[in-house]
């Protein structure tokens, strides 16, 4: 099997579940894939904004802000409620053999990341604010 967190091939001892041979501090066996994707998107956004600020200091940070529509925000909340994370251990997203249910959420998370990166790059190139209200 493969760890969903770090992508290493592994067995259950790779994870933090001591009941399955793992140890504390290892990759989490259960957590919220939605939260994980949100953190990944946020980190990627911060990285690209920092890089753009270094390469194009004349562009104001406010001009690179991505604004999502209420529809997108509501859809994000719906997905988060559908994937409550470790308190409801029915979602085991870290092992590829059990990750099929997470693929849809992952693709949407990656689509958001791509949209943010593309909007930031386009705004930097055109030096204007970005609004993804129709997304």
Over range 63-87, report the average pLDDT.
81
pLDDT of amino acid 96: 36
67 and 131 Cβ atoms separated by less than 8 Å: yes
More confident residue, 86 or 16: 16
Residue 109 and residue 27: Cα distance in Å, rounded? 20
Region of poorest pLDDT, from 30-39, 77-86, 125-134: 125-134
End-to-end CA distance of the chain: 35
Residues 93-118 have pLDDT tens digits of 333 333 333 444 444 555 666 666 66
More confident residue, 132 or 53: 53
pLDDT of amino acid 117: 67
Q: What are phi and psi of 2, to 5 degrees?
A: -130, 140
Please enumerate in sequence order all residues whose Cβ is within 8 A of that of 28, keeping only pairs 6 or more positions apart, or say none.
5, 15, 16, 86, 94
Strand partners, 43: none
């Amino acid at each position: 099997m493969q760890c969903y967190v770090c992508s290493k091939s592994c067995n259950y001892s790779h994870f933090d579940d001591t009941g399955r041979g793992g140890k504390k501090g290892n990759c989490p066996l259960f957590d919220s894939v939605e939260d994980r994707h949100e953190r990944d998107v946020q980190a990627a956004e911060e990285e690209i904004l920092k890089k753009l600020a270094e390469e194009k200091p004349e562009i104001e940070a406010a001009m690179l802000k991505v604004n999502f529509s209420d529809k997108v925000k509501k859809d994000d909340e719906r997905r988060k409620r559908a994937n409550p994370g470790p308190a409801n251990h029915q979602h085991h997203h870290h092992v590829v053999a059990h990750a099929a249910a997470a693929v849809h959420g992952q693709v949407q998370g990656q689509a958001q990341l791509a949209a943010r990166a593309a909007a930031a790059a386009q705004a930097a190139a055109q030096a204007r604010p970005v609004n993804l209200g129709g997304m």
